[in-house]
Chains A and B, each alone.
Chain A
């Protein structure tokens, strides 16, 4: 990447014996929407606060547009943070909240007025400028927080799960607005969330964090279709994991011996060694209950345990002989009633192309 808006090099944060962040390396390109995703406790909020300057690092460096921010205090940073609880000042109205940043230094009052109005327009808040904070809805508060941050022309906008307090419909709408806003402004957004759908729908690239480490960074498609570690495979999307020893390394496929029988997986960039223990990942919507009768099809036996109805599709749960669980996603099957399903022995089929190997963890 030629021009990087942000570079994190080896960011580590320790609290006594507890390691919250362990050598985080991250790069954000120019005007990129980067999502940082992970389960609670993975350190993503700490990372964001470090970027904002609210926390110190035990070691590591942070560069914004090539500038090392090590000695820059919070109020002089080119980053802006949007809080989860918006942190709007209750004693000021909307206009004064937005104007807060610029008013701290020398400014031209009439120019500022114009600017605030422009900001309000940008985030669809016209007409609300003289409202008090207590009179606003969640979505409106969200937008005030955004306007307040953006008016100070930051180089990077940091967002800490800003949509988590909104209801589902509003959230989806705001996702689109945020994306549009980011592209209109042309600055980088770094968006922290634990919600996979949010991350995938808005971001150019996603970084998956777990226990203070970066598990994988890539485009949403790359992460979804090719998780590189067991954690990512289980955290993102709906994936099934088999494990076993490699018995055959060939040009067309790699064969492993698992508890459910032999499985042939696609040949990936990394060739496993004979006898090595690996995971095989197969996405839930790639496993079928009817054979496709192609040459490179895998077949395993499982016992149907139940079905979950999810609107546009069904999720079927199967048990393997060794006790582990398989999930399958398929479109609605006409004519199957719940009582007849449970306990039935079934065969499941998936193509070699849809099975890929990751290192064992």
Chain B
């Protein structure tokens, strides 16, 4: 019932000088508005923007005699940048993070996309909800514990290898533990339930009529997929990849538990950047500098987000919705 007419800002209500009393307070002018928003906004101000603001500032602090001191110096950043390729070799860490996160994000999205396609087009409507529930359910179990479980599965004498030994296939042993492939497995496992929801909403919103029309006009299933379904899924796919990438970039648990901290990959035996941050935090006493490193991580993530917006733009700008 909400007609476009009702979208009004009360600033427009200029009372012409008519000899009437006060204007009627319409629903949109209620005091409830401020009252209801206040608690949430207050909480956010204190516990979110406060720490974040402080966080930004903290990166500029210096340390004297093991205690942080308020300051506005670039010392921390200079130290970090001078350590990019030598010393702590942060650049390698950043590269490792990107190298782990991006393929993981793309792979997870592809993987999940195929699953969603299977659910939407391969499962009867009645069971789709059940299928979705099953797919999303692991999200409700502990991430840490799932990582632990992967540990015991992938370990040198873990479930997979010992199982292979038991059935006599010792030569097929895998040694994935402490590689970044293991890290990616953990990340994909973590991120999948979220992606399922995003992609399911996207794909299930594709009008069935469009597919019917395409098939009617003679297109094969593959052609229909390429020309109808895929383009219409574009926004959802881009959102999924960027969402997954950001989560993977910021995660350190997978890298730590499955990648062993300095997991091997094509880049070498280098920990991911978040892992470096965590170890710095645990070992060094220079909290401001660790904060500066974390700020750099945030910047990297924002860059990734911005790049993904480029891919999204044509779809959301001109697309019909």
Contacts and interface: CB of A to CB of B under 8 A. Distances in A.
Nearest to B28: A56
Interface string B12-34: 11111010111111110000000
B12 A72 contact: no
A28 to B, nearest CB: 19
Interface string A69-94: 11111100000000111000000000
Given A15-B12, A85-B1, A70 B26 contact: no
B124 interface: no
A344 B22 CA distance: 67
Contacts of A16: 12
A320 to B, nearest CB: 39
B5 interface: yes
Interface string A21-45: 0000000000000000000000001
Interface string A112-126: 000000000000000
A84 B1 contact: yes
Given A14-B12, A16-B12, A20-B5, A54 B18 contact: no
B216 interface: no
B10 interface: yes
B17 to A, nearest CB: 9
Nearest to B30: A73
Contacts of B8: 15
Which residue, A60, A70, A72, has most C-beta atoms of chain B within 10 A? A70
B277 to A, nearest CB: 51
Contacts of B18: 10, 59-61
Nearest to A77: B24
A73 B26 CA distance: 7
Contacts of A20: 5
Contacts of A55: 6, 26
A20 to B, nearest CB: 6
A70 B12 contact: no
A347 interface: no
Interface size band for A: 20 to 34
Given A15-B5, A60-B18, A85-B1, A53 B12 contact: no
Contacts of A12: 16
B21 A58 contact: no
Contacts of B23: 56-57, 70-71
B22 A71 contact: yes
B20 A72 contact: no
Given A70-B20, A72-B24, A56 B10 contact: yes
Given A15-B5, A20-B5, A46-B5, A73 B24 contact: yes
B20 A61 contact: yes
Interface string B83-123: 00000000000000000000000000000000000000000
A308 interface: no
B13 A70 contact: no
A331 interface: no
B6 to A, nearest CB: 8
Interface size band for B: 20 to 34
A54 B27 contact: yes
Interface in B18-66: 18, 20-27
A68 B27 contact: no
B16 A58 contact: yes
A68 B24 contact: no
Which residue, A16, A20, A71, has most C-beta atoms of chain B within 10 A? A71
A56 B24 contact: yes
A53 B16 contact: no
A205 to B, nearest CB: 26
A71 B22 CA distance: 5
Contacts of B13: 56, 58
Nearest to B10: A56
Nearest to B6: A55
A58 to B, nearest CB: 6
Contacts of A53: 24, 26
A83 B1 CA distance: 10
A46 B8 CA distance: 13
A344 B8 CA distance: 56
Nearest to A83: B1
Which residue, A20, A59, A60, has most C-beta atoms of chain B within 10 A? A59
Contact of A70 (B1, B3, B22): B22
Contacts of A58: 12-16
Nearest to A12: B16
A16 to B, nearest CB: 6
A16 B22 CA distance: 21
Contacts of B12: 14-16, 58
Interface string A307-334: 0000000000000000000000000000
Nearest to B27: A54
Given A15-B12, A61-B20, A54 B1 contact: no
Contact of A73 (B10, B14, B20, B25): B25
A83 B2 CA distance: 13
Nearest to A46: B5
Nearest to A15: B8
Q: Which 5 A-B pairs have the closest CB atoms?
A: A59-B16, A70-B20, A71-B22, A56-B26, A71-B21
Given A59-B15, A59-B18, 12 more contacts: A54-B27, A55-B6, A56-B23, A56-B24, A57-B24, A58-B14, A58-B16, A60-B18, A69-B24, A70-B23, A71-B24, A85-B1
7 contacts: A14-B12, A53-B26, A56-B23, A58-B15, A61-B18, A73-B24, A83-B1
